[in-house]
Amino acid sequence: MSSPNNLECQPITTISLQDISNHVIKFIHASDIHLGSHQYENTLRSDDYINAFEEILAKAIDHSVNFVLLGGDVFNSLEMLPGKLTNVIEILNNFKKATSGEIPIIAIEGNHDIRRFSRGVRFSHRDQSWLKLCANLGLIVLLDADLQAPTNLIFKPYDFEKCEGGKIQIKNVVIYGTRYLGEAPVSTLSQIRKAIKKEKGKFNILMQHFGIEGQMANVPGIQLELISPLHHRVDYLALGHFHKQFILEDWIYNPGSSESVCSMDFFLKRGIFLVEVKGREAFSKEVQIIKLKNRNYIWRTLKIRYKFRSKESFYAYLVEHLKIYFKSQDIKNDQSRDNFSFLILKLEGINPFKNKNVNQKEIQKVLIEEFPIIGAKVYQKFKSRVNTIVNYF
């Protein structure tokens, strides 16, 4: 496939300043979709991220929104299987056709979109990303500011011929955006604030990819008080980066990841925002939280107290233990495979075998054959203590 930089830019339908007599605009705000993720090397899990993306775009059509915001980490990395990338481009093409190009997808690059390391290779040019490819194909609007330019030129209007720019206006909403600027882009916030124009009758959205301190335990972010000055010129701060959903002070919005990217994400509140803005000079907004149809996780912990004479007896013990749980939850094998869960199994206590570790692949095969799951991840947290009692199960 040709480099995005060598592709001829194909502009999407030009967005005109529509009649604002109805004074209403609707949009979807999503982030951290991580297309191309191959969690646990499971093919069905990789499809889940694409399915979540399709659901987001379907919601956009169902709710007749004016545009869709993607707050970064749309792709998981620069590594992408050709078939998956082709699938994503096909989805975007279909969305453009279904909407006649009237619902633009507006995105910024997150840290995963522009990671400079892939399979040990450092990418020397920052402008390589799959989002740029999608923009050059005329499928999305990719915003980025020129922070080296004078203040009045930092956010240039989006140029559909060159497929570049830092802002775009749709009806009476002005959307500004920059790529990922690092974990703590505090030094740029003042510069960004000065470059944003606050005009009467305009609703300003700023798209950024960073976290806010305190929203996720033990995860660094920017202090809220350092962001507050932006509120004088920004009506809606559309964030991405943290996979946990949060809303702060009724102007800072982070939808969370659209699908769990790691096992712990399953416990986080996540989804997308459907936003409706009303007004001509004084604005009001209504934000609806939409939860997507994500893959379910089953978490089980089993404490091993004894050694087993054979791996077959140990596997049988695991199956019997899990059968009791699946029966108690009324989880049956006759359901659609699309609805199967992913199993996270934590083994504690002592190692069930005398001189070897548990073979994870063998356990996965046994469990997938026995239960309605698409895959299993087994964590071994065994102590070194030896138990002399032998289990003859």
Span 325-346, average pLDDT: 84
- Please tell me the predicted confidence (pLDDT) of residue 33: 97
pLDDT at 10 over 50: no
**What does the angle CA 272 – CA 278 – CA 282 come to, to the nearest 5 degrees?**
125
Distance CA 391, CA 393 (A): 6
CA distances, 232 to each of 172, 192, 237, 298 (Å): 18, 12, 11, 45
Rounded CA Rg of the chain: 24
- Please tell me the predicted confidence (pLDDT) of residue 127: 65
Q: Whole-model pTM?
A: 0.87
For residue 348, the cross-strand partners are 303, 381
- Please tell me the predicted confidence (pLDDT) of residue 116: 58
Highest mean pLDDT among 5-9, 206-210, 262-266: 206-210
- Please tell me the predicted confidence (pLDDT) of residue 280: 86
Report CA 85 to chain centroid distance, whole Å. 16
- Please tell me the predicted confidence (pLDDT) of residue 198: 93
Mean pLDDT in the chain? 87
Distance CA 137, CA 25 (A): 26
Give the residue, 345 or 121, on which the prediction is more confident: 345
- pLDDT bin (cut points 50, 70, 90) of residue 15 is very low
Span 99-120, average pLDDT: 83
E strand spans, the chain: 24-30, 67-70, 105-107, 117-118, 121-122, 141-142, 167-170, 173-177, 203-209, 236-240, 246-248, 252-254, 272-278, 284-290, 297-304, 307-308, 341-350, 373-383, 390-391
- pLDDT bin (cut points 50, 70, 90) of residue 330 is confident
Give the residue, 16 or 221, on which the prediction is more confident: 221
The predicted-structure confidence for 348-375, as pLDDT tens digits, reads as follows 998 888 767 788 889 999 999 999 999 9
- Please tell me the predicted confidence (pLDDT) of residue 388: 38
Nearest to 4 by CA among 110, 132, 93: 132
- Please tell me the predicted confidence (pLDDT) of residue 105: 98
Of 43-52, 253-262, 273-282, 376-385, the least confident: 376-385
Distance CA 332, CA 88 (A): 33
- pLDDT bin (cut points 50, 70, 90) of residue 67 is very high
pLDDT at 390 over 80: no
- Please tell me the predicted confidence (pLDDT) of residue 22: 58
Q: What are phi and psi of 107, to 5 degrees?
A: -130, 160
Span 110-128, average pLDDT: 62
- Please tell me the predicted confidence (pLDDT) of residue 126: 54
For residue 81, the cross-strand partners are none
Distance CA 283, CA 214 (A): 29
Span 196-210, average pLDDT: 96
Distance CA 104, CA 235 (A): 20
Span 90-95, average pLDDT: 98
The predicted-structure confidence for 290-319, as pLDDT tens digits, reads as follows 999 999 999 999 999 888 888 899 999 999
Distance CA 36, CA 79 (A): 8
pLDDT at 42 over 60: yes
- pLDDT bin (cut points 50, 70, 90) of residue 331 is confident
Span 93-97, average pLDDT: 97
- Please tell me the predicted confidence (pLDDT) of residue 352: 87
Span 192-221, average pLDDT: 94
- pLDDT > 90: percent of the chain: 66
Of 4-8, 85-89, 150-154, 364-368, the least confident: 4-8
Please give the DSSP secondary-structure letter assigned to residue 160.
Answer: T
- Please tell me the predicted confidence (pLDDT) of residue 6: 38
Helix (H, G, I), strand (E, B) or coil at 270: coil
- pLDDT bin (cut points 50, 70, 90) of residue 125 is very low
Do residues 72 and 107 lie in contact, with contact meaning Cβ atoms separated by under 8 Å? yes
